[in-house]
Amino acid sequence: MNTRFLRAIVRKDLLTMLQNRGVWLPIVILPVILLVIMPLALILAPTAVNVNMPGSMMQQLDLFMRNMPDTLRQQVAGLTPQQTYVLLFTVYFFAPFFLIIPLMVSSVTAADSFAGEKERKTLEALLYTPASDTELFMGKVLTALAPALAVSWSSFILYGIVVNAAGAHIMGRLFFPTTMWLALILWVVPAAAALGLSVMVLVSTKVKSFQEANQIGGMVVLPILLLVFAQAGGLLYFSLPVALAVGAVLWVIDAVLIFFGIKTFARGELIARL
């Protein structure tokens, strides 16, 4: 594997993406909305109205907790309603939401790298270089994964600062990250990024433009929404074993999709479809 080829492909693709607002704008906006504005609103808005939570919200929280698994109820035993509320939303309910970030970033960058290259009619020149099919594929994989992990991990740090700062007066201590979040960041986030990438590699072979790839590939967030709904309905909550299991399932799906992705990324196949 010639690492110089990989670096050249990653550099080229990232430089191209930086010139394309349609690619980098959602990558910047989504984490800000999801990890700064939403948690701040959820923590500060109800508590700003009254130091004690309003009665109706208290009743709703009580009702909500009754639907939750016993293990989660044990986790929050002994906490005040406000502390329960903050912990519930920032630690447990935001976990599946967070996975949208690596998925979205990797699928957008992969769409630009694979389908965008085809749309801009630049792929042929790349295929005439000495880089092997595997080197070209790996270069493009890194192009999608590197920003996804960089954005996810820096978003995680940002989220940690935001929720600890906003919730400090309620929790009275640093309460984030938990062990589950560390597993999420180190095990599930790379798997989610790989999922966004591998789906987009396959989608890109069938479409002709970045937009088309994005529209079809965007459906990859649906399983994450299922996790959100499953948690809201009390079917599961994002504990450490659940995070590990979700990561394992994603890695298996990734392995299968990447296997097929590599098969489609052969010079002869690509050039015949130009």
Partner 1 sequence: MADFVIEAQGLTRIFGAQRAVDGLDLRVKRGEVFGFLGPNGAGKTTTVRLLNGVLAPSAGVMRVASFDPVRQGSAVRRRTGVLTETPALYEQLTARQNLLIFGELYDIDARQLPARVDELLRLFDLADRANERAGTYSKGMKQRLALARALLHDPEVLFLDEPTAGLDPAAARQVTALIEGLSKKEGHTIFLCTHNLTEAQRLCDRVGVISRGRLLAEGTPAELADHLWRGNWVQITLTGSPSEALLAALRAVVGVIDIKVDGTALDMRVDTIERTPALLRAAVLAGAEIYSVTPRRRSLEEIYFELQANGGAAEAEP
Q: Of 48, 63, 125, 222, which one interacts with partner 1 (CB under 8 A)?
A: 125
> How many whole angstroms separate alpha carbon 3 and alpha carbon 63?
56
Of 7 and 73, CB closest to partner 1 = 7
Minimum Å gap between C-beta 213 and partner 1 is: 18
The neighbour count for residue 253, using CB atoms within 10 Å, is 16
Minimum Å gap between C-beta 123 and partner 1 is: 8
What is the size of the binding site for partner 1 (CB under 8 A)? Answer: 29
According to the binding rule CB under 8 A, does residue 130 interact with partner 1? yes
Could you give the angle at the alpha carbon of 192 between the alpha carbons of 249 and 219, nearest 5°?
A: 100
Q: Tokens 């989660």 sit at which residue?
A: 72
Minimum Å gap between C-beta 271 and partner 1 is: 5
Q: Of 49, 50, 60, 120, which one interacts with partner 1 (CB under 8 A)?
A: 120
Burial of 261 (0-12, 13-18, 19+ CB in 10 A): buried
Name the token pair of 164. Answer: 């600890």
According to the binding rule CB under 8 A, does residue 62 interact with partner 1? no
Minimum Å gap between C-beta 20 and partner 1 is: 7
According to the binding rule CB under 8 A, does residue 206 interact with partner 1? no
Identify residues 4-33 at the interface with partner 1 (CB under 8 A).
Answer: 4-5, 7-9, 11-12, 15-16, 19-20
Q: How many residues does the chain have?
A: 274
Minimum Å gap between C-beta 115 and partner 1 is: 15
Q: Of 79, 127, 168, 262, which one interacts with partner 1 (CB under 8 A)?
A: 127
Sequence letter at residue 32: V
The neighbour count for residue 273, using CB atoms within 10 Å, is 12
| Cis peptide preceding 177, ω within 30 of 0 | yes
Sequence letter at residue 9: I
Reduce the DSSP state of residue 237 to 3 states and report it. coil
Stretch that binds partner 1, among 40-48, 123-131, 142-150, 189-197 (CB under 8 A): 123-131
Q: State the distance between the two ends of the chain, measured CA to CA, in whole angstroms.
A: 26
Q: Would you tell me which residues interact with partner 1 (CB under 8 A)?
A: 2, 4-5, 7-9, 11-12, 15-16, 19-20, 120-132, 267-268, 271-272
